[in-house]
Amino acid sequence: MVDLNRRGFIRSLFSIGSIGAASSSEAQVQAKGKSVFLWCDLHSGHVGFPTGLDAPAIRPGSIAKLIAAASLVEDGFNTNLQFECTGTYKVSGVKELGEVHCQFAHGRLDLRRALAFSCNCFFAQATRSLTTRAFLAKARALGLASPVAGRSSGLFPALESETKPSLPYVLGLAADFKPNCLQLMRLAGLIAIGPGERLPVLHSSENFELKDREKPLAVALTRKSAELLRSSMRLSVQEGTSSKLDPQDKMQIAAKTGTTDHGKKFQSQIIGFFPYDKPRNAFCLFSPAGTSVDAAVPEASNLILSTSW
């Protein structure tokens, strides 16, 4: 259980203006109070829905940092460059954003570790010159505006949003960017298979009606950005925010977590793939109650480790 003081503190991580306001559709998901787990076979495209056919679309939280990191690397960002995290970073130039926070000071870290430990202060500094246009173009290329497994896309920002500051998108807290769980799982699949490969069109075995508009997605990553994302997701499981997912490393998972505030509570997601060396499965778990450490990670751990793959 989370104690109230910690809850209050964690909530402060998301207090960057009104951009984190929860919407009524999120409230509906929350009202159901049910976690959602989805997985797919990266060779066949088969999608499993062990918890039912829901695929909620909510703000992705720190999962969005994967997109920001890919944009940075492909724009020539020096992956050895370090920034200091003192636990708080004042965002200059964008008054309504105020400050971003981390749960504790991460110290000096590079992009790979910043992703593995999901350091908000690093990303606020590293993405100062990343435009929302560039972020959204990468998100679109990675399927976050496209239908998936016969379902329409979750909410994707309108063109006007491209002139807004990028940080709310980088942190996955913008109210107009809500990819669904299937799209986030597909993102994990694209990172897993890497550039030069094509992910099959994802489909449910119960409903093999592929929509004409769905095409196999090419992996819109370079070798360098894919390697950075893959290795940081692996480090997340070994040492970072997903370290309780598979402590004995039975499945060789690579993953990324995200937590968003939801009224007085939190909701969280985790996406990932395994086994790391020869990826066969990708997954997404959404938990309507609790941070990723308290909810999404342990719930995904229970499901993945109790299944015969």
**Residues found near Zn ion in the complex (CB under 5 A):** 85, 102, 106, 119, 121
Indicate the residue among 119 and 229 with the shorter CB distance to Zn ion: 119
Report the nearest approach of Zn ion to the CB of residue 121 (Å): 4
Angular region, 55: left φ>0, alpha ψ -120 to 50, beta rest: beta
Report the nearest approach of Zn ion to the CB of residue 226 (Å): 24
- What Cα–Cα distance (Å) separates residue 115 from each residue in 112, 154, 232, 254? 5, 24, 6, 12
DSSP H or E segment with residue 12: helix 4-12
Indicate the residue among 113 and 262 with the shorter CB distance to Zn ion: 113
Report the nearest approach of Zn ion to the CB of residue 5 (Å): 20
Report the nearest approach of Zn ion to the CB of residue 238 (Å): 18
Indicate the residue among 172 and 189 with the shorter CB distance to Zn ion: 172
Place of tokens 């086994």: 275
Indicate the residue among 109 and 202 with the shorter CB distance to Zn ion: 109
Indicate the residue among 36 and 121 with the shorter CB distance to Zn ion: 121
Q: Largest alpha-carbon pair distance within the chain?
A: 51
Please compute, for residue 160, the number of CA atoms within 13 A of its CA located in the half-sphere on the CB side.
1
Closest to 182 (Cα-Cα) out of 38, 29, 292, 300: 38
